[in-house]
């Protein structure tokens, strides 16, 4: 968590401040011997009360300040280019307008910002002023005075982000290609989405990188990112950008929200603060496997592609220093070259040895070498005196040539740091020193081969993991599509059922048949009856509905022949009804016992008249 009174107890904050004060008192020792501890504490967050001094020590701007007394005031007194000064004045009110330092026009915050930016245009007239420098300088002024902020800005522009603020912005374009190539490794889903809509990195990462996320992230996240940036260098900027893209475009649900180029650009340019959690951001940045070696390798690849496609770079890329450790080693080598050799040889990590170019390694003596004659005696009487290799006079002491490397963690049985004895014939013993140097070079080559082998194995392992992850994503997408298809088919079936009507149950069908009027097989005249043989089902239904329950003989009698006679049956005697049924079978008309014809009444259904 970030160090603030709201987040931690007072006693814990004081304890951490004491730890940082102890580091300040022995800074060179901590950086050279216990840099991993310094890096861990920077990742946890620097106490707010000590952040200004910590940033100056981490960036080595304090040494620039001490070695250039009065330089800032001298730069202030100069006129400066009016072209740059007009642009600076227009940009003053745009930097953190809601902060108390920069809210008032002409206030002390805007005045200090003007002084710092003007001094830099005078200090580097070939670069001039870039608008992205204003928010960076404003963040520095919130923590330190104007002169300290100026030298800190110089270190950011020249050491951490060289070429970012020069004309043409070639360095930021080159880093954009490096960033896009790293995105392909870290989050292929976001890479494919941006590639699909042809969204170049320069469209969204320019403000991220050039302003070091000071205008993108919430303020607590900005401070945490800057703490790690001053300690570990530009790799933190790359990591934060990759983590943001992974959070914004790294899942299927996120990509559904941004279906076009416009929506994607809006999401990347206006990252919602509630979606960026401080602890989670720092945790993912620390765990992301993007190293200095990987960035430098991608840089060499992209420089070669740039030269093949666009020609030579106007701004020649220089070797940037990745954080405090590289700055400290560069300073030590520079002091060794200027003074003739370091007084002591601090331990170095194998990673820094691999990054250091051979042309910058000073081959200088660290102790008196074996020799004969009076020159050796005079040199040994002055232990601090030594001279460069290429300018050694013929009659003076020849310094011992040493290699700039770490003592191996496992002591070698052949390692011997004692000076070689003089030859019997009084020779200089240069061959022994050359042999020792050759053995060390062989060990270096062997270690570098092992490192390359390990890197290749690590890359293969990562590629396999990436392939497995892609397979899982494909299976998941396929399962999602199938489930969506099934859901769609089910919805269509339900719609069809609703349109066609609900299927009736057996009870409803029975009720419907009961409510329908029964078919009466009664012809218009009794005399012209047509008979049809009824089915058993019709007979059963007709009997149940029309005939009351009587004796067995009556149910099975001849009165069941026609449905029309069931109506008359209720009012006539059984013998008369039997007689009528027999006459219906024989003749065409029905005759009563008196001989009169029975005809159906047209007015009343089921009634007869004689």
Higher pLDDT, 442 or 433: 442
Looking at the DSSP bridge assignments, the partners of residue 608 are 600
Question: Each residue of 518-527: b (16+ CB within 10 Å) or e?
Answer: eeeebeeebe
Q: What is the pLDDT of residue 375?
A: 36
Per-residue pLDDT tens for 321-339? 888 998 988 888 888 887 7
The whole-number pLDDT of residue 379 equals 34
What span, in angstroms and rounded, lies between the C-alpha atoms of 338 and 345?
A: 16
pLDDT in tens, 63-92: 999 999 999 999 999 988 999 999 999 999
Question: What is the distance between the terminal CA atoms of the chain, rounded to a whole angstrom?
Answer: 113
For 223-233, what is each residue's pLDDT tens digit? Answer: 999 999 999 99
Res 246 pLDDT > 90: yes
For the segment 174-199, the average pLDDT, to the nearest whole number, is: 94
pLDDT in tens, 80-130: 899 999 999 999 999 999 999 998 888 999 999 999 999 999 999 999 999
pLDDT computed for residue 40 by the predictor: 95
Fill in the DSSP letter of residue 78. Answer: S
More confident residue, 324 or 563: 324
> Can you list the pairs that 196-205 forms with residues at least 24 positions away whose Cβ atoms lie under 8 Å?
197/260, 197/261, 197/264, 198/261, 199/261, 199/264, 199/265, 200/176, 201/176, 201/177, 202/172, 202/173, 202/176, 203/265, 204/265, 204/268, 204/269, 205/176, 205/179, 205/241
Q: At what angle do helices 10-25 and 35-44 cross, to 10 degrees?
A: 150
Q: Does the structure show a pLDDT above 60 at 452?
A: yes
Backbone angles phi, psi at 213, to 5 degrees: 65, 15
Burial 117-131 (b: 16+ CB within 10 A, else e): bbbbbbbeeebbbbb
In the structure, what pLDDT confidence band is assigned to residue 586 with cuts at 50, 70 and 90? low
**CA-to-CA distance for 584 and 369, rounded, in angstroms?**
151
> Which comes out higher in pLDDT, residue 480 or 211?
211
Q: Report whether pLDDT(444) > 80.
A: no
* pLDDT at residue 149 greater than cutoff 90: yes
Contact 165, 326 (CB under 8 A): no
Quick: pLDDT tens for 286-301. Answer: 999 999 999 999 999 9
Distance CA 144, CA 56 (A): 9
β partners of residue 600: 608
What pLDDT is attached to residue 577?
A: 59
* Whether residue 516 has pLDDT greater than 70: no
Strands 608-609 and 599-600: antiparallel
Instruction: Please state whether the predicted TM-score (pTM) of the whole model is above 0.75.
Output: no
What three-state secondary structure class fits 608?
A: strand
Percent of all residues in the chain with a pLDDT value above 70, rounded to a whole number: 63
The DSSP symbol for 156 reads I
CA distance 221 to 213: 9
Q: What is the mean pLDDT of the chain?
A: 75
Phi, psi of 597 (to 5 degrees): -75, 140
85 to each of 77, 81, 119, how far by Cα in Å? Answer: 14, 6, 10
Which one is predicted more confidently, 373 or 539?
A: 539
pLDDT above 80 for 237: yes
Q: Is the pLDDT reported for residue 445 higher than 60? A: yes
Question: pLDDT grade, residue 491 (50/70/90)?
Answer: confident
Per cent of the chain over pLDDT 90 is: 42
DSSP-derived letter for residue 409 is: S
Is 241 or 368 the better-scoring residue by pLDDT?
A: 241
- Residue 539: the pLDDT is 62
Q: What is the mean pLDDT of residues 245-252?
A: 92
CA distances from 137 to 92, 95, 145, 153 (A): 11, 10, 11, 6
* Confidence band for 488, pLDDT divided at 50, 70 and 90: confident
Asked whether 183 and 250 are in contact (CB, 8 A), the reply is no
CATH of domain 170-310: 1.10.472.80
Q: What local confidence, expressed as pLDDT, does residue 398 receive?
A: 36
Q: What is the pLDDT of residue 606?
A: 46
Radius of gyration of the chain (CA): 49
Domain locations in the chain as residue ranges: 170-310, 521-609
pLDDT at 473 over 80: yes
Among the residue ranges 330-344, 476-490, 507-521, the one predicted with the least confidence is 507-521
| Residue 438 pLDDT grade (very low, low, confident, very high; cuts 50, 70, 90) | low
In this predicted structure, what is the pLDDT of residue 468?
86
pLDDT confidence tier of residue 529, bands split at 50, 70 and 90: very low
Looking at residue 197, what is its pLDDT?
92
The residue among 282 and 584 whose pLDDT is bigger is 282
Element (H, E) at 136: helix 133-141
Among 229-233, 351-355, 422-426, 518-522, the range with the most confident prediction by mean pLDDT is 229-233
- Label residue 449 by pLDDT band (50, 70, 90): confident
**What does the pLDDT read at residue 584?**
56
Residue 133: per-residue pLDDT: 96
């Amino acid at each position: 968590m970030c160090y603030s009174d709201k987040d931690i107890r007072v006693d814990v904050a004081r304890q951490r401040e004491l730890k940082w004060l102890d580091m300040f008192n022995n800074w060179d020792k901590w950086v050279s011997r216990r840099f991993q501890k310094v890096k861990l504490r920077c990742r946890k967050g620097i106490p707010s009360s000590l952040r200004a001094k910590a940033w100056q020590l981490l960036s080595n701007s304090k040494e620039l300040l001490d070695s250039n007394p009065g330089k800032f005031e001298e730069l202030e007194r100069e006129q400066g280019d009016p072209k740059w000064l007009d642009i600076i004045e227009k940009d003053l009110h745009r930097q953190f307008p809601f902060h108390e330092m920069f809210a008032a026009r002409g206030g002390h915050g805007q005045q200090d910002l003007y002084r710092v930016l003007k001094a830099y245009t005078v200090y580097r007239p070939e670069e001039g002023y870039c608008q992205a420098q204003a928010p960076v300088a404003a963040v520095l002024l919130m923590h330190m005075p104007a002169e300290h902020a100026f030298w800190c800005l110089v270190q950011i522009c020249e050491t951490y982000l060289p070429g970012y603020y020069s004309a043409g912005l070639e360095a930021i374009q080159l880093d954009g290609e490096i960033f896009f190539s790293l995105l392909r490794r870290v989050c292929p889903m976001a890479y494919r989405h941006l590639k699909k809509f042809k969204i170049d990195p320069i469209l969204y990462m320019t403000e991220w990188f050039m302003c070091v996320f000071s205008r993108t992230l919430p303020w607590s996240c900005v401070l945490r990112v800057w703490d790690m940036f001053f300690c570990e260098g530009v790799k933190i900027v790359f990591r934060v950008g990759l983590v943001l893209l992974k959070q914004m475009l790294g899942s299927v649900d996120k990509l559904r929200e941004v279906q076009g180029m416009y929506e994607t650009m809006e999401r990347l340019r206006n990252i919602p603060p509630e979606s960026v959690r401080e602890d989670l951001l720092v945790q993912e940045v620390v765990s992301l496997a993007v190293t200095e070696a990987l960035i430098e390798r991608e840089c060499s690849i992209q420089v070669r592609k740039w030269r093949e496609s666009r020609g030579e770079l106007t701004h020649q890329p220089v070797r940037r220093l990745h954080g405090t450790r590289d700055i400290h080693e560069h300073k030590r080598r520079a002091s060794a070259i200027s003074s003739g050799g370091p007084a002591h040889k601090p331990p170095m990590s194998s990673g820094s040895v691999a990054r250091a170019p051979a042309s910058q390694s000073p081959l200088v003596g660290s102790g008196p070498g074996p020799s004969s004659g009076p020159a050796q005696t005079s040199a040994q009487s002055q232990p601090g005196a030594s001279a460069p290799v290429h300018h050694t006079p013929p009659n003076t002491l020849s310094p011992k040539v040493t290699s700039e490397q770490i003592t191996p963690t496992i002591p070698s049985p052949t390692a011997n740091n004692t000076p070689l004895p003089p030859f019997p014939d009084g020779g200089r013993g240069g061959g022994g020193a050359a042999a020792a140097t050759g053995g060390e070079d062989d060990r270096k080559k062997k270690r570098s081969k092992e490192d390359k082998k390990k890197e290749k194995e690590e890359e293969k392992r990562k590629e396999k993991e990436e392939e497995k992850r892609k397979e899982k994503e494909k299976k998941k997408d396929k399962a999602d599509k199938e489930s969506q298809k099934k859901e769609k088919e089910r919805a269509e079936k339900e719609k069809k059922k609703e349109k066609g009507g609900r299927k009736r149950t057996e009870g409803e069908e029975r009720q419907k048949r009961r409510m329908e009027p029964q078919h009466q097989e009664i012809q218009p005249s009794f005399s012209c009856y047509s008979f049809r043989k009824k089915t058993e089902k019709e007979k059963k239904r007709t009997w149940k509905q029309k005939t009351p329950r009587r004796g067995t003989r009556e149910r099975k009698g001849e009165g069941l022949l026609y449905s029309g006679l069931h109506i008359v049956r209720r009012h006539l005697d059984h013998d008369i009804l039997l007689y009528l049924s027999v006459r219906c079978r024989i003749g065409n008309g029905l005759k009563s016992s008196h001989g009169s014809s029975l005809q159906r009444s047209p007015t009343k259904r089921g009634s007869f008249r004689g």
